Structure 1
Amino acid sequence: MATYDATATVKRNRAFISSAMSVPMLTREREFELARRWRYSEDEAALHELVLAYVRLVVSMASKFNNYGLPKGDLVQEGNIGLMQAAFRFEPEREIRFSTYASWWIKSAMQDYILRNWSIVRSGTSASQKSLFFNLRWLRAKIQASESGTIPEDTLETISKKLRIGIKEVEAMSNRLASRDQSLSTPIGEDGDDSLEDFLVDNKPSPEDITIRTCDGDTRGRWLVSALDELSDREQMIIRERRLNEDKVTLEALGDRLGITKERVRQIEHKAFEKLKLSMVRISREASISPHRLT
């Protein structure tokens, strides 16, 4: 089985970045020429040249997100996806530089990737939540708030007003940023023999409980079959269609099928259901007296 070689990965990433930064920059005229050729003639060679020239922009933007603890190579890869989206959507007739337009798509792709992978607990992806996630750190540092401690009330209010987001949202996101995910396998205690997962409570039913429930369900199923056999064919059909099937048939539809009024169907259903309950009670009592009955 192949193993992950971190050194080789770093070398490949450096080679890619070096190659991207060596590609000549485009003039405004050349940029618009390539964009028009791709948009109106689907010239793939033009698309390739246009995108390749701005991979340097992806690399540059990836460096701005280094402090989120994610591999730069992954950020560059996500940024390249954003760059391709920009190339497919760019409208040269709007007379804006492709780099300006692409920057938004690249940044958005990287931010979405960070939000997906920064924590196993999914962060909000609304516009306000994204703004809060990516602006809270620098804004808090700017007003000299503690990076790891509790944010004072006046600081919360300042950040809330600056980002136009509720104070509770700011406080919740701050708590998220103050503590990263921790592996359940992390050793704890003086000797390190225990881990966090050793102290988690398992609320799932035990194998014994599952077996008992399964057996009880099978038993009740046999009781129901026996109780249904005590009903007439018409009563069985109505009970099955009205009580036992997932898709309940209407009283009117059953009435049309049986040639009776829907009120008559309702009366038969009520009477049959009462008979069924009495039969179930009697059969369960008989089974408790004679455990081998119905088995």
Structure 2
Amino acid sequence: MTTTVTLAQNKLAMAIANPGALGSIDAYITAVNHLPVLSAEKEVSLARALRDQQDLDAARELVLSHLRLVVSIARQYLGYGLPHADLIQEGNVGLMKAVKRYDPERGVRLVSFAVHWIKAEIHEYIVKNWRMVKVATTKAQRKLFFNLRSMRPDGHTLDPDQVAHIAKTLNVKPEEVREMEVRMSGREMALENPEDDDDTFAPIAFLSDEGHDDPTQVIERRAIDLQQGEGLDTALAKLDDRSRRIVKARWLQDDGGATLHELADEFGVSAERIRQIEVAAMKKMRLALTA
């Protein structure tokens, strides 16, 4: 039994930043659920060893023993349409932050302390990656976004009294509740027809080309497009090879772009590191484009 647990721990130690590394998310979850739960005494002992001696093996054991908590919390956010593996990955980052900050002398179990950090990382990931969440810019609006789904009775449209109640409960404006409800109930539609079918009309077929009869405007738009394209190439040229690869893979692909998880596998680093490189690269490109 000890050998089995050790093998599972060794695999998971390499997979913490990459839940898909074990072959599938189901395999990862199965391995996580086979790890032993720490007793209160053992947890305090390991936490003290980490705090007093910077014992990384103790930190590793604390993290591994709580990975099932991350899986459980991440499952609650599957309704936002983001990959389960990515949610778990972000939750694991929060767990590691919690382990680093945990004080065993406060008399609180790590599981209670870590919940906040795990949810905070997952919330941040959802806000950054779910397009419809871009309106959630304030703390109150984020609270509205993450609570509205559960506060809508049976998923039905809210009536005025329910809107007023939710707005009062979450300390937001009624119009913000209505706007968020519309955004969460809507779905994206392709502007162009994804299939080469002359008998099927996409929304773009019904839009008029206001510049069609004015050759001057057509030429001007083409000139602007050419200038912007050259500017983008110039900005990309200022990046190092790794940063350029990440930006192109994330933003310049026709298939929707690579995920942080996929790029983390490619470069052998964590998804958080990929995000940091991406942010720095985009900032450098913005400076180049505005120079």
Question: What TM-score range do you get, normalising by the shorter chain?
Answer: 0.5 to 0.7
**What is the Cα deviation at residue 75 of structure 1?**
0.8
**What is the Cα deviation at residue 91 of structure 1?**
2.0
Equivalent position SS for 1:181: coil
In 2, the alpha carbon distance for the partners of 1:157 and 1:193 equals 43
Kept in 1, the 8 Å contact 2:132–2:183? The answer is no
Equivalent position SS for 2:72: helix
Kept in 2, the 8 Å contact 1:82–1:102? The answer is yes
In 2, the alpha carbon distance for the partners of 1:199 and 1:13 equals 43
Query: Is 1:24 the equivalent of 2:41?
Result: no
Q: Show the counterpart of 2:187.
A: 180
Query: Is 1:60 the equivalent of 2:72?
Result: yes
Letter in 1 for 2:175: K
1:120–1:185 CA distance, 2 compared to 1 (3 A): farther
In 2, the alpha carbon distance for the partners of 1:49 and 1:212 equals 59
Q: Note the 1:1-295 alignment, pairs <5 A.
A: 11-119=23-131, 122-141=134-153, 147=155, 149=157, 151-186=158-193, 193-198=200-205, 206=217, 208-209=219-220
Which consecutive unaligned segments of at least 5 residues does structure 2 have? Answer: 1-19, 225-291
**What do the CA deviations read for 1:93-128 (whole angstroms, capped 9, x no partner)?**
222111111111111111222222222661314321
Equivalent position SS for 1:154: helix
**What do the CA deviations read for 1:23-50 (whole angstroms, capped 9, x no partner)?**
0000111111111211221111011000
In 1, the alpha carbon distance for the partners of 2:73 and 2:164 equals 30
Equivalent position SS for 1:122: helix
Kept in 2, the 8 Å contact 1:119–1:180? The answer is no
Kept in 2, the 8 Å contact 1:115–1:123? The answer is no
Kept in 2, the 8 Å contact 1:62–1:76? The answer is yes
1:163–1:19 CA distance, 2 compared to 1 (3 A): same
Q: How many residues are matched?
A: 200
Kept in 1, the 8 Å contact 2:49–2:55? The answer is yes
Kept in 1, the 8 Å contact 2:143–2:170? The answer is yes
**What is the Cα deviation at residue 22 of structure 1?**
0.6
**What do the CA deviations read for 1:273-295 (whole angstroms, capped 9, x no partner)?**
xxxxxxxxxxxxxxxxxxxxxxx
Letter in 2 for 1:156: V
Kept in 2, the 8 Å contact 1:62–1:72? The answer is yes
Q: Show the counterpart of 1:5.
A: none
In 1, the alpha carbon distance for the partners of 2:222 and 2:204 equals 26
User: Structure 1-normalised TM-score?
Assistant: 0.59
1:10–1:161 CA distance, 2 compared to 1 (3 A): farther
Equivalent position SS for 1:83: helix
Equivalent position SS for 1:105: helix
In 1, the alpha carbon distance for the partners of 2:223 and 2:189 equals 37
In 1, the alpha carbon distance for the partners of 2:223 and 2:70 equals 59
User: Structure 2-normalised TM-score?
Assistant: 0.60
In 2, the alpha carbon distance for the partners of 1:172 and 1:14 equals 36
Which consecutive unaligned segments of at least 5 residues does structure 1 have? Answer: 1-7, 214-295
1:186–1:207 CA distance, 2 compared to 1 (3 A): closer
1:125–1:36 CA distance, 2 compared to 1 (3 A): farther
1:30–1:10 CA distance, 2 compared to 1 (3 A): closer
Equivalent position SS for 1:194: coil
Letter in 2 for 1:109: E
Please tell me the root mean square deviation across aligned C-alpha atoms, in Å.
Answer: 3.1
Letter in 2 for 1:195: A
Kept in 2, the 8 Å contact 1:140–1:159? The answer is no
Kept in 1, the 8 Å contact 2:127–2:133? The answer is no
In 2, the alpha carbon distance for the partners of 1:44 and 1:203 equals 64
Letter in 2 for 1:164: N
